[in-house]
Amino acid sequence: MEIDSVHFEYLGQLIKETKIKLARSVNAELVNLYWQIGEYLSQQIEKQGWGKSVVVQFANYLQMTEFSGPGFSDKNLWRMKQFYETYHNYPKLSAVLREITWTNHLMIFSKTKTIEEKEFYIRLCVKERYSSRELERQMNSALFERTMLGNAKLSSTMRVLPQDIGSIFRDSYVLEFLDLPEVHLEKDLKSLIATNIRTFLLEFGKDFAFLGEEYRLQVGNHDFFIDLLFYNRSLSCLIAIELKVVEFSPEHLGQLNFYLEALDRDMKKSCENPSIGILLCKSKDETVVEYALGRTLSPTLVADYQTKLPDKKILQAHLQQLFDSGSFEQE
């Protein structure tokens, strides 16, 4: 008797999903254990005056028992204390700490300074399910600073959208993984993005599904081609991306607006939201962008891209200037 393979695929998926749930459950319990150890050490250090020598003794004790291993070295025990002391005054944040791996926690500890930055990466790890390698790339690309600066620059057109787009789109993107020379062609940029689509989606966000390069639209008796077409699951809409290897110019918007109109008339389903357009340019003048978008009726974002990793210190300085000027407040 032959069985339809769909049954085997269902069982296979069931096993896969259960393994993922088990792994998450084990991780949650492990992080919770580290929290409790950190809490106990913190309290004893404060009440009993424990010093590093006591923690070293405890680590040595653990090494002689069934708990031996690098996970309970004196250095890691101090990290557990730091873990507890960093977050115990933030009850809303402590609820999600168990949802990311200890390895990612250690990376966030070592590469961030403020609680705002820590929270940003923790919540991003929960949302995107980052591996340690993916998280490291995002931190090296100064994602926190870029996102904060970008949120302050999002056009008024984008702000009136019914969807929450603050954590989805950015003002600037880093495409260092494409290894592009400083001078390059649009076809090279487009081709390399399509070839490296998995890494590209790490920069743009995992809720983006790639629908195609040079996506064909037929309007009347003419064919038109969108550079890159995506669908965003959380926004429930099509995302058209046009690439420009030159500085932004207002006439670029006409072509993109035409594509958005065609997508909404011919492709958008009744249950979906209006399509969004992104002009990804080599550079832009913020004042020109503001004027160009001032009267546009289409939900459009003009962003620029960099071919090299940004200087994080420069971005941090710009971000601090915004905080100091009161452009937005740190929570």
Tens of pLDDT, residues 260-290: 999 999 999 999 999 999 999 999 998 999 8
Q: C-alpha angle with apex 194: 146 to 133, nearest 5 degrees? A: 50
Confidence of residue 105 (pLDDT cuts 50, 70, 90): very high
Give residue 237's domain range: 156-325
| 3-state class (DSSP) for residue 318 | helix
Query: For position 157, what pLDDT does the model report?
Result: 45
The region of weakest confidence among 69-73, 76-80, 281-285 is 69-73
Q: C-alpha angle with apex 135: 233 to 189, nearest 5 degrees? A: 65
Confidence of residue 327 (pLDDT cuts 50, 70, 90): low
Query: For position 160, what pLDDT does the model report?
Result: 46
44 and 97: one domain?
Answer: yes
Nearest one of 96, 106, 134, 150 to 301, comparing CA atoms? 150
163 and 85: one domain?
Answer: no
For residue range 136-171, list pLDDT tens digits in order. 999 999 999 888 887 666 544 454 454 556 568 888
84 and 122: one domain?
Answer: yes
227 and 162: one domain?
Answer: yes
**Average predicted confidence (pLDDT) for the chain:** 86
170 and 127: one domain?
Answer: no
287 and 222: one domain?
Answer: yes
The region of weakest confidence among 3-12, 70-79, 125-134, 143-152 is 3-12
Which one is predicted more confidently, 73 or 187?
187
105 and 233: one domain?
Answer: no
229 and 293: one domain?
Answer: yes
Provide the percentage of residues in the chain whose pLDDT is more than 90: 55
| CA dihedral sign of residues 263, 268, 274, 280 | negative
Residue 276 pairs in a beta bridge with 239
**Total domain count, the chain:** 2
Q: Quick check: 119 and 95 in contact, CB under 8 A?
A: no
Query: For position 120, what pLDDT does the model report?
Result: 94
Model-level pTM? 0.78
Domain end: 95, 111, 140, which one? 140
Helix axis angle, 132-140 relative to 197-204, nearest 10°?
A: 60
Six-digit token string for 221: 């008796």
Confidence of residue 10 (pLDDT cuts 50, 70, 90): confident
214 and 86: one domain?
Answer: no
117 and 168: one domain?
Answer: no
Query: For position 247, what pLDDT does the model report?
Result: 96
Q: Quick check: 141 and 124 in contact, CB under 8 A?
A: no
Whether residue 146 is contained in a domain is answered as no
Confidence of residue 219 (pLDDT cuts 50, 70, 90): very high
Helix axis angle, 115-128 relative to 132-140, nearest 10°?
A: 140
Nearest one of 143, 173, 199 to 301, comparing CA atoms? 173
Domain end: 77, 111, 140, which one? 140
Residues 136 and 142: their CA atoms lie apart, in Å, by 10
User: Using CB atoms within 10 A of its CB, is residue 65 exposed (0-12), middle (13-18) or buried (19+)?
Assistant: exposed
Six-digit token string for 109: 């500890």
Provide the percentage of residues in the chain whose pLDDT is more than 70: 88
Query: For position 18, what pLDDT does the model report?
Result: 80
181 and 313: one domain?
Answer: yes
Distance of CA 310 to the CA centre of its chain: 16
